[in-house]
Structure 1
Amino acid sequence: MILIVDDVPENVYSLQKVLEFHGFQVDTAFSGEEALRKILSKQYVLILLDVQMPGIDGFEVAENIRGFKKAKDTAVVFLSANYTDINMIIKGYNQGAVDYITKPVDTDLLLLKVKTIYKLYEAKQDNSRQNQEILVLYEHAKEYNQTLLGKIERFKQVFDLAGVAQWEYYTENERFIPSAQLNKLFNGDEDISVSKNDFLAKLGLAEDFLTAEPYTATEIRRMSCQIERNSESKEYKILIQPEFEEEKLKRILGVVQQVDDALV
């Protein structure tokens, strides 16, 4: 909505008629005091504000509404018949005006400025809504991540207590990826990585264990393989899941559990 403020009714009604003819909603005020009351209670996209009015003039109105929450996104355009005083024009911009139009008002120029201000206002509102939506999504994601991290930490604690650790092996580049639990299980420190050879040696497995049969056999490709090995007087259970791509072994996923006497 647009608020037209002028102490001369003829000026107000002529601008109101033009703007309403072009589809804009218009409200009116005939003094600075009335304008302030309306700005306190309503939200406007634009205020067309006459500079020279008795009582509270246009400059005072602009200065007073700076702290109004409802007017924080409202554009102010000053209207004045005094277009030769550069100091008044500068003062208008210093009071927060986005433009300064001289009287008599060129309606074509006014409509161009009004349409531009409305487009900027709508773009700002869209950005504000998008930013708010992004903020809400961010908070949801943050909350979800905290919940997920909590679950991961609980699973990690359970795995640590049960002596369970995970690992991956990629056959194409022979890359062995131990989990922090596996490092801790074998080295006592989750930051010291276990190599593939150390892993096989500790379990008493042959060096070609990860690439040998029966993993490539079609009949067991979807089966898990459980093996028990004794190493250093410790017993481990290994659960292995091979993954194939076009009949070729691509990756092996594994879980290792150290079996205590109390659990056997």
Structure 2
Amino acid sequence: MVFWEGYVSDEAMGTFAPIVVYWLYAGFYQLLPPLDKYRLHTRKEEEEKNFVTLASVVKGVLLQQLVQATVAQLLFLLTSTADASGTTIQPSIPVQILQIIVAMIVMDTWQYFVHRCMHHNKFLYRHVHSQHHRLVVPYAIGALYNHPLEGLLLDTFGGAISFLISGMTARTAVIFFCFAVVKTVDDHCGLWLPGNLFHICFQNNSAYHDIHHQIQGMKYNYSQPFFPIWDMLLGTHMPYVLLKRPEGGFEARIKKD
């Protein structure tokens, strides 16, 4: 039993809950006070280094989410296992946990190789992936700010393949996709907040991804959103140190040998 049962279908929740969660969680970060002593970049750096307005970022994210919702509805329609009464048999909790772990590994694998390809292929970087890197200083709402083709290939197809390979139901997908969205937003939040569980539990976090957005780290730390496994296996892992800035806040700096 879940709180939406009887009110909204699992397929509708799997389609729209991740979008709602994105704006709630990213909006939470956007509405926070400046928190200068926890920022990975100063507000001045964010204003001077980013090449796109907040309004353009919002429009880009909404376009990607429109495509994602369309694909999700089609995917759920084609894979539905509901009986005549509209009921789908849910697997046991251990099976669902295993499915989520498999989906995390599949998504990480897909996104690593597509992301890396977009950096190493000059045409794809110049005409597609460079749009995301207009945010030299990432912030939460910009987590899904991508070129439409990148949004389709990297996130939408990545999510669809993870769903299909893991064999999860639409109900399990609600949990997985909402968690993936929260993790992705957190990785782009530009803050190093004390007690943040994502920083404690995941090596791939806001500081790790901030290195990738720096010029000297753009061909490193491709892994997202969960684990840095592929970076470590294929030599694209860039260690970093987190230093306190004299004027307040932190700086993720590439670790020198």
Do the two structures share a fold, i.e. TM-score over 0.5? no
**Which structure's residues are more often strand, by fraction?**
1
Instruction: Give the TM-score normalised by the residue count of structure 1.
Output: 0.20
TM-score (norm 2): 0.21
**Normalized per residue, which structure has more helix?**
2
Q: Over alpha carbons, which structure has the higher Rg?
A: 1
